[in-house]
Amino acid sequence: MLTFLNDLLLGQDIHPNTVLYLVASIKIVLILLFCILANFIAKRILLNTLRTIILKTKNTWDNILLEKHVFDSLSHLAPAFVVFFLVPLYFPEHDVLLNLAARFTLVYMLSVLLFVINAVLNAVYEILQRMKRFQNRPVRGYVQACKIVVFFLGSVLVIATLLERSPWGLLSLLGGLTAVLLLVFKDTILGFVAGILISVNKMVSIGDWIEMPKYGADGDVIDISINTVKVRNWDKTITTIPTYSLISDSFKNWRAMSESGGRRIKRALYIDINSIRFCDEEMLTKFSKIDALKDYLTDKEREIEEYHKKYPFTPDSGVNGRRLTNIGTFRAYIVQYLKRHPQVHQNMTFLVRHLAPTPQGLPIEIYVFSRDAVWANYEAIQSDIFDHILAVVPEFGLRVFQQPSGHDIRCFRAADKVNNGSQ
């Protein structure tokens, strides 16, 4: 058809150069029309048909590919193929035009392929995140590393195509810039290596509660990328930590606590040492009415009686022989109370102990684990335990140590004035 049109125009006594320009213009218009047609077929017909088929399938991975615009990006290749095949067909004698068209078409196709690969990697990340075994893995860092490699190699190919040079030659030139590249991408390289070590050693996963005071981080890990780890703190702020810092610096991961099914309660109350004394008959009678102490008192009385048979003593002094103390009985009561508490884990470390006396008194430390590791529930359980213990301290003739307040000092001065006045 184009040959017939060329002959027809030459038969009309039109200048040959004008005929060449007119035919070339028609060819360019035809190529553009075919590009528009190819784009319409790819986007309106093929893409819509493919979308309909995908939505009817039961698979989820193809839906993700559709959501991440993988097929949409691929459709941009249709016009490029038209130009790539029609230009040599319509302009076989124009070497310069063929060279330019082929070169820029290849650059365009490479650019589109880079965006297609980027969309595919995004889809792969989304697919892996929906799989249980990959949900807590730092997959994002690996995907980002793949993107960096792909775009680096793609950029080399694009530059090589534009300059009509071998990509291997460009890579050899870039080899001389290795030191500069290592300096520029230092954080990325360190982050990538750290991501591999974190994944292999299972040091941190998304959802873990970590503490890293150096960076002010105390909360849940919400994202692990090649360069940064994001932590949502308990005050809802976001702390960003360099990924390689999790390898080079120390941090605390509370995952084991969450998985153990218990959370440690470690707290002491300070007893005024001046309130500690031996139990008299009145106190023992009072204590025997406490259900949690009946077995303890019975066993202790039998033990003391057997001891006194073996080692006789004279009751002239209170230090002769063995006797129960109010602090020891109080400690036994705490043990029984915690053993009966439904929210205290009985199969984990269970201690009620004395610590070394301090200027604030004698510390009685409770070291147990709650059954519920959820923070709010844990705090409620801990508060409930100490509410009760603090309330029963006076029942054992003991006093909790407390620094004198302004009110105490005023009462002391008022009492002192009254005493001085009466004298």
Domain 263-277+325-407 carries which CATH code? 3.30.70.100
How many whole angstroms separate alpha carbon 360 and alpha carbon 402? 8
CA distances in angstroms from 118 to 65, 69, 104, 127, 224, listed in the order given: 11, 10, 21, 14, 19
Instruction: Please report the pLDDT score of residue 101 as a whole number.
Output: 72
Looking up tokens 């949690």 gives: 292
CA distances in angstroms from 208 to 35, 97, 272, 284, listed in the order given: 52, 60, 41, 50
- What does the longest C-alpha to C-alpha distance in the chain come to? 147
Instruction: Please report the pLDDT score of residue 317 as a whole number.
Output: 62
How many whole angstroms separate alpha carbon 210 and alpha carbon 136? 14
Instruction: Please report the pLDDT score of residue 9 as a whole number.
Output: 47
Kindly state the helix (H) or strand (E) to which residue 313 belongs, with its residue range: none
3-state helix, strand, coil in the chain (%, to 5): 65, 15, 25
Cβ atoms within 10 A of the Cβ of 312, count? 8
How many whole angstroms separate alpha carbon 263 and alpha carbon 269? 19
Cβ atoms within 10 A of the Cβ of 147, count? 17
162: nearest Cα among 110, 123, 232: 110
Instruction: Please report the pLDDT score of residue 2 as a whole number.
Output: 47
Paired with 186 in beta bridges are: none
Instruction: Please report the pLDDT score of residue 379 as a whole number.
Output: 92
Instruction: Please report the pLDDT score of residue 152 as a whole number.
Output: 79
Residue type, 203: M
CA distances in angstroms from 370 to 267, 341, 353, 386, listed in the order given: 13, 10, 18, 13
Written as six digits, the tokens of 258 are: 């969450």
Strands (E) across 178-251 are located at 209-212, 217-224, 228-233, 238-242
| DSSP for residue 272 | P
> Residue-wise pLDDT tens for the chain (423 aa)?
445 445 544 445 554 555 455 656 666 777 788 888 887 888 888 888 888 888 888 877 778 888 888 888 888 888 887 877 777 666 666 666 666 777 788 888 888 888 888 888 888 888 887 777 776 666 777 787 788 788 878 887 888 877 777 777 666 666 656 666 666 677 777 777 777 777 767 788 888 889 999 898 999 998 888 788 999 998 889 999 988 888 888 898 888 877 777 889 999 999 999 999 998 889 988 998 999 999 999 999 898 888 888 887 766 666 777 889 999 999 999 999 999 999 999 989 999 999 999 999 999 999 999 998 888 899 999 999 999 999 999 999 999 988 777 766 777 776 666 666 555
Specify the 3-state DSSP secondary structure of 392.
helix
Strands (E) across 272-395 are located at 351-354, 362-370
Q: Which residues have C-beta within 8 Å of that of residue 272, sequence separation ≥ 6?
A: 361, 398, 399, 400, 401
Written as six digits, the tokens of 138 are: 């730092």
For the chain, give every domain's residue range. Answer: 2-198, 200-260, 263-277+325-407
**Is residue 395 within 8 Å of residue 279, measured between CB atoms?**
no
| DSSP for residue 236 | S
Instruction: Please report the pLDDT score of residue 5 as a whole number.
Output: 45
How many whole angstroms separate alpha carbon 270 and alpha carbon 64? 61
How many whole angstroms separate alpha carbon 307 and alpha carbon 322? 8
How many whole angstroms separate alpha carbon 347 and alpha carbon 353? 18
Specify the 3-state DSSP secondary structure of 234.
coil
258: nearest Cα among 388, 370, 399, 404: 370
Topology, domain 200-260: SH3 type barrels. (2.30.30)
Q: Does 263-277+325-407 match 200-260 at the fold level?
A: no
